[in-house]
C-alpha cells in the first residue's frame, strides 16, 4: 500500500498547529506562545518561506505536523491499545488546560476508531519513511536543499 497523499505547506507560526503545544514544552517561566526555548526544540524557520508543516490526508481528513517530534508522538499515541484518554494525556503536560483542547480530543472519530487507527498509523509510518528516505530529515531542515525522491508524492505549497 503506498503512503497517503502528503505535502508541505508553509506557515508564519509553527505554534498554531494542533500538536505543537502538547509536544513542545516551554523551558522558561511565562506564556508558552512567547517562550524562546522549547523541549524538544522548536522547528527552524525556513528563510523567505516560514515554517514547514507536513500535511497528511486520510480521506477527507488532513493531519498537520510542524515537527518530526509531533509526527512521532501521533504515531506513538495512536498505536496504543487501548487508546489513552485526552485527560490522561493532558495531565502529562502538567498544565491546567483542559482535555477538550488536547490534540487527541480534536481528532475526528473516523480516525480514532480502532479499525481506522491501524490504517492511519501505517499511513503515517509510511509517510515518515518516504520523507526520511528522501533525506529531507522531517521538517527540521530547509526543504530547498532536497528534491523529492522517486516514489514519494511529496509536494510543496506556499
pLDDT tens digits, one per residue of 120-138: 999 999 999 988 655 444 4
**pLDDT (0 to 100) of residue 2:** 74
- Which residue has better confidence, 56 or 154? 56
DSSP codes of every residue in 37-105? -EESPPPPPBTTTBEEEEEEEETTEEEEESSHHHHHHHHHHHH-SSPPPHHHHHHHHT----GGGSHHH
**Domain boundaries along the sequence of the chain:** 6-157
Section 14-33 average pLDDT: 92
pLDDT tens digits, one per residue of 77-121: 999 999 998 888 988 887 767 678 899 999 999 999 988 999 999
Amino acid at each position: 500500500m503506498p503512503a497517503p497523499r502528503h505535502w508541505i505547506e508553509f506557515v508564519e507560526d509553527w505554534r498554531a498547529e494542533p500538536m505543537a503545544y502538547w509536544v513542545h514544552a516551554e523551558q522558561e517561566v511565562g506564556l508558552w506562545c512567547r517562550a524562546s526555548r522549547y523541549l524538544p526544540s522548536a522547528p527552524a524557520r525556513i528563510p523567505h518561506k516560514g515554517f514547514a508543516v507536513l500535511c497528511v490526508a486520510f480521506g477527507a481528513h488532513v493531519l498537520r505536523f510542524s515537527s518530526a517530534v509531533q509526527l512521532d508522538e501521533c504515531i506513538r499515541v495512536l498505536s496504543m491499545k487501548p487508546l489513552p484518554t485526552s485527560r490522561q494525556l493532558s495531565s502529562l503536560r502538567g498544565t491546567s488546560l483542559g482535555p477538550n483542547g488536547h490534540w487527541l480530543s480534536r481528532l475526528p472519530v473516523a480516525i480514532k476508531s480502532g479499525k481506522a487507527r491501524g490504517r492511519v498509523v501505517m499511513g503515517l509510518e509510511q509517510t515518515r519513511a518516504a520523507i526520511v528516505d528522501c533525506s529531507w530529515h522531517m521538517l527540521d531542515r530547509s526543504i530547498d536543499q532536497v528534491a523529492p525522491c522517486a516514489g514519494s508524492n511529496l509536494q510543496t505549497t506556499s
